[in-house]
Amino acid sequence: MPEDYFAALIFTGDVWRDIRDFMSPRRPDTWRHVQAVAEVAGRLAARFAVLPEEARFAGLCHDLAAVVPKDKLIAVAAAWDVPLTAADRQIPQVLHGPIAAAVVSARWPGANQQVLDAIRYHTTLRAGAGTLEKVVFVADKIAYDPTTPRTDYMMAVEQAVQTSLDAAAFAYLDFVVKHQAELGWKLHPNLLAAHGELAQRAALE
Ligand SMILES: [Fe+2]
Ligand SMILES: [Fe+2]
């Protein structure tokens, strides 16, 4: 069994304080990032008709698994009963979303499925994603993680979000797909499926 990286995480109902108490001593950079994501997600939620408090909650919780070292992600995912595909094993960094969703689900039974999915798919999105998932996905890209190696998709995402949530999600996904070789990223099937779906939708408009 890997170490329980979430032993100190306690949900009291005041999620901002709970996540602060857990994240700020362990990953102060991530604590700053998740607050920014929660704020942007709350704003987008009001505009795109999902509950701002759910968007803020998912925003605060989405990167909880930043406390897990990269080389431990697969073992921790398995310990939390996160189903692992071959692609997940090849691109283990995407597991930080599913791990966070599993932890929140276990520790805070009040979190509904939409909130858990928004946490789970915040890195890759997926085909058929709901509005809350897209809100958190887009907010995460706008309020970028300081460890993100490239941020030159930001302008495109910020411009596209004026039009629609789908356009903003697509702007990021299309940047990643088009720059895959130079980024040197392996693209997860969920990301490619989301890109394909949104490309098709954009072509029909
Ligand atoms: Fe993340
Ligand atoms: Fe993030």
At 169-189, the pLDDT tens digits run 999 999 999 999 998 899 999
Distance CA 142, CA 196 (A): 21
Distance CA 120, CA 133 (A): 9
* CA-based torsion, 176, 76, 62, 166: positive or negative: positive
What are the structural domains, with CATH classification, of the chain? 15-147 (1.10.3210.10)
- What is the mean predicted confidence (pLDDT) over 46-62? 97
pLDDT band (50, 70, 90) for residue 99: very high
Cα(205) to centroid of ligand 1, in Å?
30
Report percent pLDDT > 70 for the chain. Answer: 97
Residue 204 clears pLDDT 90, i.e. is over it = no
Around Cβ 105, how many Cβ atoms within 10 Å? Answer: 17
Name the least confident of 2-6, 41-45, 127-131: 2-6
Ligand number nearest CA of 139 is 2
Residue 130 clears pLDDT 70, i.e. is over it = yes
- What is the mean predicted confidence (pLDDT) over 19-35? 97
Spatial neighbors of 11 by CB under 8 A, at least 6 apart, are 18, 104, 107, 108
**pLDDT for position 107:** 96
- Give me 83's structure tokens: 């189903």
**pLDDT for position 145:** 62
- What is the mean predicted confidence (pLDDT) over 139-166? 84
pLDDT band (50, 70, 90) for residue 153: confident
Cα(29) to centroid of ligand 1, in Å?
12
- What is the mean predicted confidence (pLDDT) over 68-87? 97
Residue 202 clears pLDDT 90, i.e. is over it = no
- What is the mean predicted confidence (pLDDT) over 115-136? 98
Cα(106) to centroid of ligand 2, in Å?
21
DSSP 90-103: HSGGGGHHHHHHHH
Cα(49) to centroid of ligand 1, in Å?
23
Distance CA 170, CA 160 (A): 9
Residue 40 clears pLDDT 90, i.e. is over it = yes
- What is the mean predicted confidence (pLDDT) over 10-30? 97
8 Å CB contact between 108 and 11? yes
Q: How far is CA 156 from CA 92, 146, 190, in A?
A: 27, 18, 21
Spatial neighbors of 179 by CB under 8 A, at least 6 apart, are 150
Ligand number nearest CA of 30 is 2
